[in-house]
Amino acid sequence: MLIVMQHGATAEQIQRVVEVIKGMGYQARPMPGAQRTAVGLVGNDGRVDESRLAGLGGVKEIIHVTQPYKQVSREWKQESTVVRLPGGLTIGGEEVVVMAGPCSVESEEQILAAARAVREAGAAILRGGAFKPRSSPYSFQGMGLEGLRLLARAREETGLLIVTEAMDPESLDFVAEHADIIQIGARNMQNFPLLKLAGRAGKPVLLKRGIAATITELLLSAEYLLSEGNHDVILCERGIRGFDPSTRNVFDLTAIAVVHELSHLPIIADPSHGTGRRDKVIPMARAAVAAGADGIMVEVHPNPPEALSDGAQSLYPEQFTELMRETRVIAEAIHRRVSEPLPASIGA
């Protein structure tokens, strides 16, 4: 529920609304906007006596958020959220951010080579999994903590910010300590205890759409993060399971436009997992940016045939350079621009 204040409402009137909400046993979130201030009532269990709020001084109207998710909805907050990262990099504004790197961190040599290559081509954020959710227990499971240290080294050298996955509460603490963005993977999109912890981790979260999750389920999972106080949430469309084995997943570009309508949160797209095929990544990256994605996440490996995970969908560095070139053209055509990487000294 949103309590919308009149244009000229005083600070005291707003404070009074906050106090009444708290007195009723709910949380109050004042949200100053360009036109007016609204106070969000969090935790409405259907028993709020709204007449007590409607009668307070300075209250213009009470809006019921009709969606099952509340704080992530555009009804709750009309202006798009811009997530601010170290060094002034933003996600969700005019810029289109590119996150690139290998599926997994495999060695110091590999991650540094990947970081240098994607930095050179113009990516701003380095991706790479240290804790890997693998379908088979016999597949490479990631380097763990050592992988995080190597990512931090790569950041120090290149200035690239780091996004990497946390799989469970233990890895979440390590990831929150080392990374600039905590990735919650598709397989964990509905791991609610993990979401609650990530909501309190104090770092931006990249939440990937579950393998067979609806958009409503994705937004409800994001609601867990916001309800714990973390408003720096970036969503990610990474393809959903379909019936056609031609591609690894069905890359749902519609989700980008639908999420932008329903939510103020930024959404990026991952054409690597979305297609599973190296030769389909560039066209789908172009399409995602054209569809309005606030960024893309792309797997790039210095030597894809040797990759320990997802080699078939990993681009060669030269292909990534081409992807960046084409992506810049598409971004400009829709009056956006691809964000520049930060100088090496800022990420250190």
Residue with tokens 């404070």: 15
User: For Mn ion, which stretch binds (CB under 5 A), given 85-93, 140-148, 228-236, 309-317?
Assistant: 309-317
Residue 202 to residue 322: CA distance in whole angstroms: 35
Answer yes or no: are the C-beta atoms of 39 and 17 closer than 8 Å.
yes
User: For ligand PEP, which stretch binds (CB under 6 A), given 31-39, 105-113, 185-193, 333-341?
Assistant: 185-193
Position 341 contacts ligand PEP (CB under 6 A)? no
Answer yes or no: are the C-beta atoms of 157 and 344 closer than 8 Å.
yes
Position 106 contacts Mn ion (CB under 5 A)? no
From candidates 40, 58, 147, 185, binder to ligand PEP by CB under 6 A: 185
Positions in 12-71 near ligand PEP (CB under 6 A): none
From candidates 273, 280, 301, 336, binder to ligand PEP by CB under 6 A: 273
Answer yes or no: are the C-beta atoms of 239 and 272 closer than 8 Å.
no
Let me know how long the chain is: 348
Smallest gap from Cβ 114 to Mn ion, in A, equals: 13
Count the Cβ atoms, other than its own, within 10 Å of residue 279. 11
From candidates 28, 103, 162, 324, binder to ligand PEP by CB under 6 A: 103
Rank residues 15 and 139 by Cβ distance to ligand PEP and give the closer one: 139
Of 85, 89, 97, residue with least CA distance to 297? 97
Of 99, 104, 98, residue with least CA distance to 311? 104
Decide which of ligand PEP, Mn ion, none touches 238; Cβ closer than 5 to 8 Å per partner kind.
Answer: ligand PEP
Position 259 contacts ligand PEP (CB under 6 A)? no
Residue 328 to residue 154: CA distance in whole angstroms: 25
From candidates 3, 103, 125, 265, binder to Mn ion by CB under 5 A: 103
Stretch (H or E) spanning 234: strand 233-237
Smallest gap from Cβ 297 to ligand PEP, in A, equals: 7
Residue 323 to residue 300: CA distance in whole angstroms: 11
Residue with tokens 């031609």: 246
Sheet containing strand 37-42, strands side by side: 27-32, 37-42, 2-5, 59-63
Decide which of Mn ion, ligand PEP, none touches 133; Cβ closer than 5 to 8 Å per partner kind.
Answer: ligand PEP
Q: Which residue is nearest to ligand PEP (CB)?
A: 185
Decide which of ligand PEP, Mn ion, none touches 186; Cβ closer than 5 to 8 Å per partner kind.
Answer: ligand PEP
From candidates 29, 238, 278, 280, binder to ligand PEP by CB under 6 A: 238
Answer yes or no: are the C-beta atoms of 129 and 318 closer than 8 Å.
no
Q: Which residues bind ligand PEP (CB under 6 A)?
A: 103, 129, 133, 185-187, 208, 238, 273
Q: Which residues bind Mn ion (CB under 5 A)?
A: 103, 310
